């Protein structure tokens, strides 16, 4: 599995051999970031309207998932859980199982949404993609607290200040300090293999990705 980041909450997660790929939450216009123009099997949205179908729908050539539920595509599994409902706007987070690796995508989670139910949903995730920049998402303190509860093998931060971003976000260093990471090398992508996770131990490794 390969994971790449395009800023804010936008990741591309690709199965080995390019057999299956997912894009999460494309950047908004307000962010000032460019959306990746990649052909993928699935696009995951954090927000949806209550009037939307509870099931995924076809959008161009990709299958669009914007609601909680369970989905199976090409032998891979995606499960969504509702974080909150504000008037007609539903916010969800997701767990993906690709190549027997479970990836938790926390989306735009806030401290109020760090409930026992949500914690239990993500408790078996090997990898967590976590917002850390504060404001309308978890800040560094809340993110680190939640990660230490979940105890994943790998954590990848998102929604923090990067060059070109027009939305106010906190610095990544605040989260790294909370996670007691003294130095972190930035990578363009990370390749994760299920066999490497089998005897991982108790270490939580923080991986920082460059925004492509």
Q: What is the mean pLDDT of each run of 10 residues along the chain (212 residues)?
A: 98 96 94 93 89 48 90 96 92 97 98 97 98 97 97 97 97 96 90 92 93 94
Could you tell me the fold of the domain covering 2-209?
Metallo-beta-lactamase; Chain A (3.60.15)
Q: What is residue 56's predicted lDDT score, i.e. its pLDDT?
A: 42
- Nearest 5°: CA angle at 186, between 184 and 187? 135
H helices of the chain, in order, are 116-121, 140-150, 172-178, 194-197
For residue range 40-58, what is the model confidence (pLDDT) as tens digits? 999 999 998 755 444 444 4
| 134, two tokens | 């504060």
Chain centroid to CA 194: 18
DSSP state of 211: B
For residue range 132-152, what is the model confidence (pLDDT) as tens digits? 999 999 999 999 999 999 999
Give strand pairing partners of 156.
129
Return the closest-CA partner of residue 88 out of 49, 122, 126. 49
- Nearest 5°: CA angle at 109, between 193 and 58? 70
Q: What is residue 49's predicted lDDT score, i.e. its pLDDT?
A: 77
Q: What is residue 39's predicted lDDT score, i.e. its pLDDT?
A: 92
**How far apart are the C-alpha atoms of 201 and 128, rounded to whole Å?**
16
Q: What is residue 53's predicted lDDT score, i.e. its pLDDT?
A: 43
**How far apart are the C-alpha atoms of 205 and 127, rounded to whole Å?**
9
3-state secondary structure of 109: coil
């Amino acid at each position: 599995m390969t994971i790449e980041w395009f800023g804010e909450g936008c990741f591309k997660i690709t199965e080995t051999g390019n057999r299956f790929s997912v894009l999460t939450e494309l950047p908004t216009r307000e962010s000032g970031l460019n959306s990746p123009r990649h052909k993928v099997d699935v696009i995951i949205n954090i927000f949806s309207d209550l009037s939307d179908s509870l099931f995924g729908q076809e959008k161009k050539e990709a299958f669009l998932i914007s609601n909680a539920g369970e989905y199976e595509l090409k032998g891979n599994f995606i499960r969504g859980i509702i974080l909150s409902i504000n008037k007609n706007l539903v916010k969800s987070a997701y767990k993906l199982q690709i190549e027997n690796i479970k990836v938790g995508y926390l989306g735009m989670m806030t401290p109020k949404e760090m409930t026992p139910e949500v914690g239990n949903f993500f408790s078996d995730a090997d990898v967590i993609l976590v917002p850390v920049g504060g404001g309308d998402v978890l800040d560094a303190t809340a993110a680190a607290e939640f990660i230490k509860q979940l105890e994943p093998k790998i954590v990848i931060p998102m929604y923090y200040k990067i060059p070109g971003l027009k939305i106010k976000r906190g610095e990544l260093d605040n989260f790294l300090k909370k996670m007691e990471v003294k130095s972190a090398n930035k990578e363009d992508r990370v390749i994760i293999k299920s066999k490497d996770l089998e005897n991982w131990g108790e270490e939580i490794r923080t991986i920082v990705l460059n925004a492509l």
